[in-house]
Amino acid sequence: MRPLKDAQLGAFTFFASALPHDVCGSNGLPLTPNSIKILGRFQILKTITHPRLCQYVDISRGKHERLIVVTEHYESSLSDFQKQGKTVSPEKVLQVAYEVLEGLEFMNKHGLVHRALNAHNVLMDCKGNVKLAKFGFYHMTDHGADVDFPIGYPSYLAPEVIAQGSFHPTDPSHDEAPPPSGPKADVWSLGVLLFELCAGRRLLHNIEISERLKFILTLGCMDDIVTVLAEEHGCLDTIKELPENVQELLRKCLTFLPSKRPTPAELLGDPVFSGISCQYTPFQKPVSLFSSSLRCAHLELPDDISDLCKDEDEDYLSERAIDEVYHLWCLAGGDLEKELTNKEIIQSKPPICTLSNFVMEDGESFGQGRDRSFLLDDTTVTLSLCQLRNRLKDVAGEAYYPLLEDEQSSLPQSNSSNELSATVTLPLIIRERDTEYQLIRIILFDRLLKGYPYKKNLVWKEARVDIPPLVRGLAWAALLGIEGDIQAKYESIDKDTPIPTDRQIEVDIPRCHQYDELLSSPQGHIKFRRVLKAWVVSHPDLVYWQGLDSLCAPFLYLNFNNEALAYACMSAFIPKYLYNFFLKDNSHVIQEYLTVFSQMIAFHDPELSNHLNEIGFIPDLYAIPWFLTMFTHVFPLHKIFHLWDTLLLGNSSFPFCIGVAILQQLRDRLLANGFNECILLFSDLPEIDIERCVRESINLFCWTPKSATYRQHAQPPKTTADNGFGKTATYYSSDYQDMPKTDLSREPLALCDLKAELSPRISAEDLIDLCELSLSGPTKRSRAGKPKIVAVDIRSVEDYSRGHISGSINVAFNTAFGPDGELVQCPATGVLQNYRGRVIVVISHAMKSAAMFAAHLVKVNFPRVCILDGGINKLKPTGLLTVPSPQI
Amino acid sequence: MKLKNNNEKKMCDILEFVFEFKAGKHNCVLKVPLQFPVQQNISDLHGRLMLLHKIPCYIENELKSSLSSFIEKETILDYDREAELALQRLTNGDVDVNQLTNAWSRSYAETTLEHARPEEPSWDEDFADVYHELIHSPASDTLLNLEHNYFVSISELISERDMEIKKLQERQAAEMDKVMHELGNTLSDQDVNAVASQHFDAQQVLENKWASELKQVTCIQKQEYQEWVIKLHQDLQKSNNSSQINEEIKVQSSQLSEAADSGARMFEEQPQLEESFTIHLGAQLKTMHNLRLVRADVLDFCKHRHHGSSGAKLRRLQTALSLYSSSLCGLVLLVDNRVNSYSGIKRDFATVAKECTDFHFHCLEEQLEEVQQVVLYARAQRSSKQKEQPGESGNRKNGDDKSKNIERNPSNILPGEFYISRHSNLSEVHVVFHLCVDDNVRSGNITARDPAIMGLRNILKVCCTHDVTTVTIPLLLVHDMSEEMTIPWCLKRAELVFKCVKGFMMEMASWDGGISRTVQFLVPKSISEEMFYQLSNMLPQIFRVSSTLTLTSKH
């Protein structure tokens, strides 16, 4: 969005019309409230950016179908001229006309019609340029169908608009809404407006509305409408004195028959503007982040760089984008309803005074007149930025322009950096509500994302701190590595031709995250359908499984106005975390996944694992929707965002840790309950503290050796190493599968064998790495980031003495456990007890005995037990085995 | 390269887009039928055409621009056609100009503030504002005490009345005894009847006298009170130096409270059984609500108590504070099909409502009269609407049944319908929903489609639209227990109502965006303690009770 500059933020409010009582939609579900329809349709307006149009910023729903729209706003408008009661110079009239037409033409290009053009809605910025306000009103209300009031103002209505009738829900004579108005209706309104400017008085001002409209309709029989109007208003002389081109312009605008009236685009090219059109350069849309063309292609730096910083103006905030400023305004305690109430635009009566007397069985109520506070007052109220500026007055100017070149410094150094670094340690919820902190973070991310993909590494680094909600959509796209002309790719996918999956998609969408206003709006449903279909069509080897809709939801929500990006993110997300989950026959993938998951439960929480296995509450019963939808089916969107902020930074085995973390939050209840209660508990998952869940899953992840979550059906390693701007491969972000495969790596295991083992296997590679056994001396990585480990050799003492890895302890299998599986008291097991809590790697000759030993350990609640894949034999070729010097 | 066969019928709004281009030496023509107005995205259409017809990429941009200009042009023509059709209808006289313009002017007048008739100032609302302001100021205590004083004087009057009526009754009983004694001797049946009717008349006269006196006192009280409130508000506004006023208030209040204490009688607090639950509703996004199961008399929520009794004044204050706020308290009262206050629970409720003057709203009788008018109006509306659209109703039989009922007496209401009364003088309730039920609710086999249940749904809906955040519902849909209401009956009924209310509450989340509410389920006083606990065990099985927060010192 454009910077705020000298604009203000404004807000106006209106009510959507109430739904009739107890009417169901054609699909049997309750009807969508009109306010939600409007909210959905509004979204696209946020993308309509043009210098002649007031930028739409946000819409919010209040109680009882109230909607509040936030837009760019200016205090002065054409009505100021009207108030002065003077005529306007012909040059000014031409300028206004031209600029209004520029705005209208741009709108028409995007399929929008203004319909509500009047003097109040043509605003003027400080330089006297035109800014059209409320241009999206007609669009967002579905041509006026979703509101009770007519769109437009009586004097400015075009004759055909009047003839098509007003649509009033209580009016029985009109069953259907009038057809939508075309762009030419606005040209008439513009004509009236210009006439008023020229004449210096309001058109048909003091006449009753129905008479006014009748008069407009009778103009059809007149030859020269402009003259008739001028005579009617007693300003024939003034009009006749106007320059010829202005008169011509008025005549063209005020053409009665639509077919003879020019469109805004035609009028813009008309010779009447030949004098001034050369002063205007056509508007160029800025290149978006993801496109095939070069973003910096048209960048021109002045010869003298210091010209750029000539602005002595200290107001850095107004250089920020409008939506950013509004976001910060909200964080700084801005309250739309309060602002509007203060200006007496919202006047509400106490609800007890508006209760009806009598309600019929079908819900229709009687005995209460129409509440006056529901009437339309579309005055735009300026939102004062004082509070926000006050809040940010201590933020240094440097903070608005952080330097990014130095990869070492994390946060921009400024006076308030101490305070900021203190803020970083606060809980995420608080950080997201902190105005200064969000300002700094948004600016930082904004700049990093502008430098994407070049600044990819820094985006990763900063995302590890947190992601500001305002830029989350793009930040996620950066984390997922989206690049290229996604729009063209998305457009080339056929999303219209019916496919067999349509029916299922149609059933699932109205059940997917419908508590959310955006996703439950009809526009949301349309977009849902298109993105899902695009994915299904473009992945012929995969199929639609229920759950894909939930997976799509967060991406769609964040990129509501950019379906292509939502599609691209989803297409990048699925192979990374859900490789082959959407195969037609995905059972082997899911089975392997769930088996690894239950091994992870045993690894991290043996007590819980023992209990769940005892009562037969296996992951198949509850965890499939968790993983198939990456938890989007079980959590509301705001929790998903926080969860995925971290998930996207981790590798494909991170979800296991999230799963274990969720189980641990429910641990007490699970341990206390039997099978039936557990099933009930999970059928409607209780509230989960998501911040704790994230924290714990990171902790669990750090304790998990990488190869423990090896899956043979995981995504195969990427063949090409296109690490142009590749992210830094850290222990946490890179996948085990991405590592080069060696002899010491894990080998695939048949599913039945995998299922037979309670504890995970780890590769010899991992063991060497974690025990720092490498021949080439200690590895580069510091000890701190690694889990503590102990190798337990369960071979017989003789075998052990013939060669073992250094640092391992010997607990012979046959001596360790008693007949009931309890640990026998002996020196060896005592050592083992001492190491409780470390990662225990069981090493043996035969995998079977290792697995049994590990199972015994889990049984007696030893955490973090795993097995060396391939046993001691794997290590023999490495030459790492040592023979202790014989004791003397 | 042609898109299938043009086998669809050539409708006026399907136009063919023709595009010619050269591929090598071949001249190719692409023809695409397009339906107008074009709904789909042009970029998508273009992408699909490219894909479907394997159009070479070097004409991609050319195709796109010619496609969009074609659609643009045709759409404009479409608009023009529609527009001129409408203008033509007007010139042909198919549409009446006056009707048309009147419809326009009416819709402006009814929906926009600019064109609406100016509002006549409403005294009620002004008073509401004044009161709301005062009750949230230090003056609240004074207000309450004043109200309470008025209440005390009314209850004195009432007890006086009761005494006098009792005396009369005793005297009459004695007289009657005497007369009965003489029956057959000196007096005939006729004489007895005469005496009886005389007694009845005397009683009526006395009751009427008291009723009118009470009414008069109430009227005076209300007027005095309102004048006082307005004056206090003016004084407060006038003086910037509010400390003086505060003093004034304080002095007055202490006097008043003394007076109140002197008149205080201790009420026996009945042991109320009560259990509270916090629940979560919703699959992904959960909303929190409070539920309470209470064993009490329905009128306990209404009865005004003396300030002496524990917490009564605080409760009063709470009710007064929220009267004009957006968190009201409602109560569902089950009534029969006549809108009056002559019998049963209706009379009991009316008695309670009269125990204290309502300083804000009309008294119950007047409110009921208004409801009767509205009911008649609503019936008239309905029948005129039904005449307009005959043969539309699918449930003809049901409708017939109902309409017969209505024809008998149009002022009666039907099961599932309810009327609403407002009160400022009840202890914990602002709004009473008088829900009409029939004898059907006493039987064991009502379903979720029963009118009474549908009525509950509509009540909850009104709660949403009018910010009633606490509502009390009779769980068993009866106020008193009787023989046929066995344990299984109670359990079955409770389960039904719990489940239905749960469903409605989930529905409500979509109406109001999930505002947290309190729903109190009320069971009659006469059920056993055991039964109560059985019901309270049932509740968490139906609603998901939120997990208790356990604070552990882990790690």
CA dihedral A336, A342, A345, A348 (to 10 degrees): 90
Report how far apart, in Å, the C-alpha atoms of A811 and of each of A808, A826, A855, B3 are: 10, 10, 15, 78
* Nearest CA among A87, A121, A124, A86 for reference residue A107: A121
- Cβ neighbours for B67, distance < 8 A, ≥ 6 positions apart: B17, B19, B42, B45, B46, B49
Average pLDDT of span A299-323: 76
What is this structure's pTM?
A: 0.88
Confidence check: pLDDT of B397 > 60: no
Higher pLDDT, A654 or B510: A654
Mutant choice from B51, B78, B87 vs A, greatest count of A C-beta within 10 A: B87
H or E element that contains B23: strand B14-23
Confidence check: pLDDT of B516 > 50: yes
Average pLDDT of span A93-106: 94
A363: closest chain B residue by CA: B458
Q: Would you tell me which residues 617-676 of chain A have a C-beta closer than 8 angstroms to some C-beta of chain B?
A: 633-637, 668-669
> Tell me, what's the pLDDT at A734?
59
Give contacts of A148 with chain B, Cβ < 8 Å: 107, 110-111
Q: How far is B424 from chain A (nearest CA, A)?
A: 10
Amino acid identity for residue A349 in this structure? K
> Tell me, what's the pLDDT at B550?
54
Lowest mean pLDDT among A492-496, A616-620, A719-723, B304-308: A719-723
Confidence check: pLDDT of B334 > 90: yes
B465: closest chain A residue by CA: A64
Pairing of strands B418-422, B431-436: antiparallel
Average confidence score pLDDT of chain A: 86
Confidence check: pLDDT of A654 > 50: yes
Is some CB atom of chain B closer than 8 A to the CB atom of A680?
no
Mutant choice from B81, B100, B460 vs A, greatest count of A C-beta within 10 A: B100
**Cβ separation A213–B378 shorter than 8 A:** no
> Tell me, what's the pLDDT at A470?
95
Q: Is the dihedral of CA B94, B97, B103, B104 positive or negative?
A: positive
Residue of B89, B461, B512 lying closest to A363 (CB–CB): B461
Mutant choice from A208, A361, A518 vs B, greatest count of B C-beta within 10 A: A361
Q: Express each pLDDT in B480-491 by its tens digit.
A: 888 888 889 999
How many residues does the structure list for chain B? 555
**Cβ separation A358–B419 shorter than 8 A:** yes
CA dist A498 and A483 (Å) reads: 29
Residue B244: pLDDT band (50, 70, 90) is low
Q: Express each pLDDT in A120-169 by its tens digit.
A: 999 999 888 999 999 999 999 999 889 989 999 999 999 999 998 886 65
Pairing of strands A804-805, A8-15: unpaired
- The answer to whether the beta carbons of residues A582 and A543 sit under 8 Å apart is yes
**Cβ separation B462–A355 shorter than 8 A:** yes
Residue A174: pLDDT band (50, 70, 90) is low
Domain ranges of chain A: 75-279, 486-577, 587-738, 757-882
> Tell me, what's the pLDDT at B501?
93
Residue B7: pLDDT band (50, 70, 90) is very low
Confidence check: pLDDT of A326 > 60: yes
Confidence check: pLDDT of B238 > 60: yes
Q: How many CB pairs under 8 A join A and B?
A: 260
Question: Which ranges of B239-337 would DSSP assign to H, the alpha helix?
Answer: 242-262, 312-321
Confidence check: pLDDT of A370 > 80: no
Confidence check: pLDDT of A765 > 50: yes
Report residue B246 as tokens.
């505060």
* Nearest CA among A438, A445, A435 for reference residue A404: A445
Q: How far is A244 from chain B (nearest CA, A)?
A: 28
Residue of B80, B413, B422 lying closest to A355 (CB–CB): B422
Higher pLDDT, B407 or A367: A367
Average pLDDT of span A559-570: 95
Pairing of strands A881-882, A804-805: antiparallel
Higher pLDDT, B311 or A161: A161
Higher pLDDT, B123 or B4: B123
Q: Express each pLDDT in A439-487 by its tens digit.
A: 999 999 999 998 888 888 889 999 999 999 999 999 999 999 998 889 9
Lowest mean pLDDT among A76-80, A345-349, B363-367, B393-397: B393-397
Residue B256: pLDDT band (50, 70, 90) is very low
CATH superfamily of A757-882: Rhodanese-like domain (3.40.250.10)
Confidence check: pLDDT of A26 > 90: no
Q: Express each pLDDT in A64-90 by its tens digit.
A: 889 999 999 999 999 888 888 788 888
Mutant choice from A217, A491, A512 vs B, greatest count of B C-beta within 10 A: A491
**Cβ separation B465–A257 shorter than 8 A:** no
Residue B255: pLDDT band (50, 70, 90) is very low
Average pLDDT of span A43-49: 94
Confidence check: pLDDT of A15 > 60: yes
Confidence check: pLDDT of A873 > 70: yes
- The answer to whether the beta carbons of residues A466 and A504 sit under 8 Å apart is no
> Tell me, what's the pLDDT at A777?
46
Q: Express each pLDDT in B342-391 by its tens digit.
A: 888 998 999 888 888 888 888 898 999 999 999 998 888 888 877 766 54
Just give the CATH number of A486-577.
1.10.8.270
Residue A401: pLDDT band (50, 70, 90) is confident
**Cβ separation B104–A210 shorter than 8 A:** yes
Confidence check: pLDDT of A580 > 70: yes
Give contacts of A214 with chain B, Cβ < 8 Å: 97-98, 101
CA dist B110 and A542 (Å) reads: 56
Confidence check: pLDDT of B184 > 50: yes
Is some CB atom of chain B closer than 8 A to the CB atom of A300?
no
> Tell me, what's the pLDDT at A129?
92
**Would you say the ipTM is above 0.85?**
no
Average pLDDT of span A609-618: 94
**Cβ separation A366–B378 shorter than 8 A:** yes
**Cβ separation B375–A354 shorter than 8 A:** no
Confidence check: pLDDT of B69 > 60: yes
Phi, psi of B35, rounded to the nearest 5 degrees: -90, 130
CA A423 to chain centre: 24
Q: Would you tell me which residues 202-231 of chain A have a C-beta closer than 8 angstroms to some C-beta of chain B?
A: 208-211, 213-214, 217, 220
Confidence check: pLDDT of A695 > 50: yes
> Tell me, what's the pLDDT at B310?
61
CATH superfamily of A587-738: Ypt/Rab-GAP domain of gyp1p, domain 3 (1.10.472.80)
CATH superfamily of A75-279: Transferase(Phosphotransferase) domain 1 (1.10.510.10)
> Tell me, what's the pLDDT at A312?
57
Higher pLDDT, B449 or A404: B449
> Tell me, what's the pLDDT at B440?
84
> Tell me, what's the pLDDT at A133?
95
**Cβ separation A168–B468 shorter than 8 A:** no
- The answer to whether the beta carbons of residues A657 and A700 sit under 8 Å apart is yes
Confidence check: pLDDT of A237 > 50: yes
Mutant choice from B44, B322, B367, B552 vs A, greatest count of A C-beta within 10 A: B44
- What's the 3-state SS for A173-213? CCCCCCCCCCCHHHHHHHHHHHHHHHHCCCCCCCCCHHHHH
Q: How far apart are the first and last CA of chain B?
A: 73
CA dist B317 and B304 (Å) reads: 12
Is some CB atom of chain A closer than 8 A to the CB atom of B285?
yes
Average pLDDT of span A247-267: 93
**Cβ separation A211–B101 shorter than 8 A:** yes
Q: Express each pLDDT in A768-787 by its tens digit.
A: 888 776 555 444 444 455 67
Q: Would you tell me which residues 4-63 of chain A have a C-beta closer than 8 angstroms to some C-beta of chain B?
A: 30, 33, 61, 63
Residue B395: pLDDT band (50, 70, 90) is very low
Confidence check: pLDDT of B5 > 50: no
Is some CB atom of chain A closer than 8 A to the CB atom of B99?
yes
Q: How far is A493 from chain B (nearest CA, A)?
A: 7
Is some CB atom of chain A closer than 8 A to the CB atom of B92?
no
Q: Express each pLDDT in B126-167 by its tens digit.
A: 888 888 888 888 888 888 888 888 888 888 888 888 898 899
Residue A736: pLDDT band (50, 70, 90) is low
CA angle centred on A387, ends A386 and A390, rounded to 5° = 80
Q: How far is B180 from chain A (nearest CA, A)?
A: 50
Is some CB atom of chain A closer than 8 A to the CB atom of B512?
yes
CA dist A432 and A466 (Å) reads: 9
Lowest mean pLDDT among A283-287, A578-582, B214-218: A283-287
Average pLDDT of span B183-201: 84
**Cβ separation B103–A208 shorter than 8 A:** no
CA dihedral A452, A454, A456, A462 (to 10 degrees): -80
